[in-house]
Amino acid sequence: MLPPTAQSPPTPEEAADWSRWMEEAIAEARLALTHDDVPIGCVVVHNGRIIGRGHNRREADRDPTAHAEMLALRQAAGHLGGWRLSGCTLVVTCEPCAMCAGALVLARVDTLVYGCTDPKAGACESLYTIPTDPRLNHRLRISGGISGAICGTLLREFFKRRRP
């Protein structure tokens, strides 16, 4: 079943939950800083409980696919005992890239909540609209900008330190 509209606004209860879960994703993003990875964090929520967590580990694991979303999706699938993540909400600090947006569609995630946009690699709104593409067999409900200023500042400060 497809969401009513790709960009339908959250209910007040959803908005409160999404803000709380975004705080958890931001805490995950800060963990990435401990091993000099881009500070992006993610949680997957099912029935009001976090069932998957991840933060970027590309540098730490020397793995180009070790994005926060991919790691959280794997953990959530393990928790549920299958690859279908219907009924799940993925909350991530930055707009997902093409790989991660495709994984969200393939995993059948219901809702994507993200912090800041990614004008250089974002595949949900900025460059592409993979999760809402009507040609695909599954589409997600999307809400961006949740704690976007905090998420954007984390990234800007990281890159400012790396590229003075």
As a whole number, mean pLDDT of residues 146-150 equals 96
- Residues assigned a catalytic role: 69
CB count within 10 Å of CB 47 equals: 7
Q: What's the start-to-end Cα distance of the chain, in Å?
A: 48
pLDDT of residue 4 exceeding 70: no
Select from 43, 38, 16 the least CA-distant residue to 27.
43
As a whole number, mean pLDDT of residues 39-55 equals 98
Residues 9-39: pLDDT tens digits? 788 888 899 999 999 999 999 999 999 999 9
pLDDT at residue 164, rounded to an integer: 67
User: What DSSP string runs through the chain?
Assistant: ---S-TTPPPPHHHHHHHHHHHHHHHHHHHHHHTTT----EEEEEETTEEEEEEE--HHHHT-TT--HHHHHHHHHHHHHTSS--TTEEEEEEE---HHHHHHHHHTT-SEEEEEE--TTT-TTTTS--GGG-TTSS---EEEE-TTHHHHHHHHHHHHHHH--
pLDDT at residue 59, rounded to an integer: 97
As a whole number, mean pLDDT of residues 109-120 equals 97
Residues 63-93: pLDDT tens digits? 999 999 999 999 999 999 999 999 999 999 9
Q: How confident is the model at residue 113 (pLDDT cuts 50, 70, 90)?
A: very high
pLDDT at residue 5, rounded to an integer: 41
